[in-house]
Amino acid sequence: MANEKTAARKAGPKGNGKNDPLGTNTEIGRKLRQYYDELMADDVPDRFTELLKQLEQKESDRSGTERN
Amino acid sequence: MGDIAAFREGLLEAIPSLRAFAVSLVKSSDRADDLVQETLVKAWDKQKSFQPGTNLKAWLFTILRNEFYSQMRKRGREVQDSDGVMTARLAIHPNQDSSLDLDDFKRALATLPEDQREAIVLIGASGFSYEEAAEICDCAVGTIKSRVSRARSRLQEILGVSGETEYGPDGISAQVTNSSAVA
């Protein structure tokens, strides 16, 4: 428990201050980040790494031919 | 070749935040991933128009958002699914520290109009400045501010919470630190 609290405090957003309407001292601000962090923690599906590899491959093939 | 590899790395790094933003917009993970895929392809095709050294993440968010709205226009406006797909699909991790249930929060967030939802997510979660968010949403900084403010009031109203909490993490830590009680 103590660790969680320390972590929560350290994980404060940049520029969080008393005046930040979505800062760590606001319930909405905290929930919003919790919601988002959970989404961010999802593993990136393979389809995306595959896609980028393909795009890069295509690109290097093309620039190879364009360069005569 | 080096530039291309660096660009690819940049896209790869941005994927988790693009997916999170996409889910916030479309509410279904499958559609969100299609949106991210479209974004990556578009970004790749337009990579010459990206200026190295500028904010790649903001540039990608702009593409994703434009793609989202153009899909919406094509499909016609879909019926709002306030507490359906997204809420059902996302895992629930109850947080002991918090009095407000995350599931309730998601449901409340889903009821916001798109423009308010995207504004509060960009500012409160994605970590963009008001200026960057205004650029992404192609509107004035003041417009973003008022959308965020309306979104926040609406969420507070739905969830029945007030703005500041006296028992926030800082407050608790301060109390713990100041207390001389030893277990």
Coil vs helix vs strand at B81: coil
Tell me whether residue B83 is in a domain: no
Q: For residue B34, give the nearest of B64, B74, B14, B7 by alpha carbon.
A: B64
Give the chain B residue whose CA is nearest to the CA of A42: B16
Nearest CB among B12, B37, B165 relative to A27 is that of: B165
C-alpha–C-alpha distance, residues B69 and A38, integer Å: 25
Sign for the CA dihedral angle at A17, A22, A25, A31 comes to negative
Q: What are phi and psi of B11, to 5 degrees?
A: -65, -45
Residues spanned by the domain of B48: 1-77
pLDDT of residue B2: 65
Q: What is the pLDDT of residue A19?
A: 61
Looking at beta carbons, which pairs linking B42-49 to residues 24 or more positions away fall under 8 Å?
B42/B67, B43/B11, B44/A55, B44/A59, B44/B11, B47/B4, B47/B7
Q: How large is the angle between the packed helices B56-75 and B29-45, nearest 10 degrees?
A: 120
Same domain, B66 and B4: yes
The residue from B77, B106, B133 where one domain ends is B77
CATH value at residue B122? 1.10.10.10
**Domain membership flag for residue B29:** yes
Is the pLDDT confidence value at A1 over 50?
Answer: no
**Residue B176 maps to a domain:** no
Residue B2 and residue B73 in one domain: yes
Per CB-CB distance under 8 Å, the chain B contacts of A25 are 164-165, 168-171
Return per-residue pLDDT of chain B as tens, 183 residues.
468 888 999 999 999 999 999 999 997 888 999 999 999 999 999 999 998 889 999 999 999 999 999 988 888 755 444 444 444 444 344 444 446 789 999 999 999 999 999 999 999 999 999 999 999 999 999 999 999 999 999 999 999 887 655 444 444 444 444 444 444
Say if B86 falls within a structural domain. no
Give how far A68 is from chain B: nearest CA, Å: 16
Distance CA B25, CA A62 (A): 35
pLDDT digits (tens, 9 = 90+) for A29-59: 999 999 999 999 989 999 999 999 998 888 7
Domain spans, chain A? 44-68
> Into how many domains does chain B fold?
2
**Residues of chain A found within 8 Å of residue B160, distances taken between Cβ atoms:** none
Cβ pair B15:A44 closer than 8 A = yes
Task: State whether B41 and B100 are in the same domain.
Answer: no
Q: Does residue A18 surpass a pLDDT of 80? A: no
**Whether residue B65 is found in the same domain as residue B111:** no
Q: Are residues B110 and B72 in the same domain?
A: no
Predicted confidence at residue B52, as pLDDT, reads 85
ipTM of the complex: 0.73
Q: Give the domain CATH number at B35.
A: 1.10.1740.10
DSSP-assigned beta bridge partners for residue B164: A26
